[in-house]
Structure 1
């Protein structure tokens, strides 16, 4: 694998994660437990899809990729490289909140690692989205702490959500065959290094919330290799319904 192929693999998995979790989070629009959360999840979903679009544009403009709309709406599920965590349905609010917490801390660490990236388009994007990611993690942290300190039921439900989400969230850091090459080229440090920093960061919040990471888990891998749950195919069918009617249309 050469450096361009390695970059395409990295950027595609980042963009696919953002696109799919953005669409999943948008499903809370009109369903949030309170109006504030309805607006917050909708706003953060829009940010995620915007990040995905920016990453697909990098593929198009710097790595000879396809048009972002075609990448997003015309690929089959097997061509996606998102992790399993992002493709599952929204489920209960505690599941979506815990997914948001784990994913956004992972995303923040990944973009932080790109501030000095030798690949300038990623470095520039990382600096551009810094403010949005800060808001996302502050929002997630605040609600995790609030619900865990609200009583025994809130705490037990959040612990159960953490137990369910954590093995899936480890899949965000599924090792890639080009990690060493990308680290060698000072593009980013590799998944293992990001995973260690992620554990350190989320534990700071989890300790305050009196939540405990589950022990002896098996990370859920496969998404980076195009192996997905049935939920992704159903979501892609819905996402691309209008675009597929006439991909060449001018809207």
Structure 2
């Protein structure tokens, strides 16, 4: 898709436990979703409204796909700029994986009769994206400490989400999560290895990582803002609540951050608030330039077939 081709489970309060499968809301059709989801709801004027559960599923999948698409693009910006050749190759490989994972998520929606992967990636308006602000951030002055810390915080979150998605009641999503984890475990291994190595090395390395952590912490916290339609998503058994996933994420990263003396207190609500509507279409100040760069080739000839 480049260019034009281009656990720890937690005990939940009783009120937040997913409903038994026999009590979950079912989607019409086989295997549980409308065959033509854009035509599944009532007619509203000249167009038809999608079934509400399709909207919920699309929101969930887009939040996963858009994160991977944009972090893949940001990682790819390190190609040729890594501090050592091995890291140049590593970030290029991870970028390719993440972009491929985004395409796989988009394809789940295409299989339901929604848009094509290319349409999702290159032909949406900014407010239609569901990405977190963390993945939209530019690489600024190409501070490798900042890149590694974002990599660490994001891939820990991705591990947590995928582990949860393996148990999703939506079988195509559960199966995809199982496959993606086979690659994502290497991303996580790469990230945690470098954070441990640099966090315990020189004073300068530690200070750079601490500075990166301070900058990124509120953005990372907002990875787990409540999704649109989250009540339906949880009730359907597709994914646990966002606040539970954040807690699992904290349990995953806290031991490593404590070992490297990089752990910070939870960010304040004032620090997190600017990034909390990203899943609802509120884009960061950096998104417009990012999207323009990603879609430059497509927009040079919108009618071209590749």
Q: Structure 2 length as normaliser, TM-score?
A: 0.79
- Secondary structure at the aligned position of 1:228 is classed as coil
Distance 1:126 1:245, change over 3 A: same
Matches within 5 A, 1:84-233: 84-91=133-140, 92-217=143-268, 218-219=271-272, 220-233=275-288
Which residue matches 1:239?
294
Q: Is the 8 A contact 1:15 1:56 kept in 2?
A: yes
Deviations, residues 197-241 of structure 1 (Å, cap 9, x unaligned): 000101021122121223443323121111112311111111111
Q: Is the 8 A contact 1:76 1:233 kept in 2?
A: no
Residues in 2 aligned to 1:201 and 1:96: alpha-carbon distance in whole angstroms: 19
Residues in 2 aligned to 1:22 and 1:247: alpha-carbon distance in whole angstroms: 23
Pick from 60, 65, 83 the counterpart of residue 114 of structure 2. 65
List, as ranges, runs of 4+ consecutive aligned residues in structure 1 with deviation greater than 3 Å.
none
Runs of 5+ in structure 1 lacking a partner? none
Which residue matches 1:18?
68
Structure with the bigger percentage of helix: 1
Which residue matches 1:82?
131
Residues in 2 aligned to 1:209 and 1:216: alpha-carbon distance in whole angstroms: 19
Which residue matches 1:55?
105
Which residue matches 2:31?
none
Which residue matches 1:43?
93
- Secondary structure at the aligned position of 2:167 is classed as coil
- Secondary structure at the aligned position of 1:234 is classed as helix
Number of equivalences = 250
Moved more, 105-114 or 179-188: 179-188
Q: Is the 8 A contact 2:227 2:280 kept in 1?
A: no
Distance 1:7 1:250, change over 3 A: same
State the Cα distance separating 1:245 from its structure 2 match.
Answer: 2.6
Larger radius of gyration: 2
Deviations, residues 158-180 of structure 1 (Å, cap 9, x unaligned): 11111111100111111124222
- Secondary structure at the aligned position of 2:249 is classed as helix
Runs of 5+ in structure 2 lacking a partner? 1-50
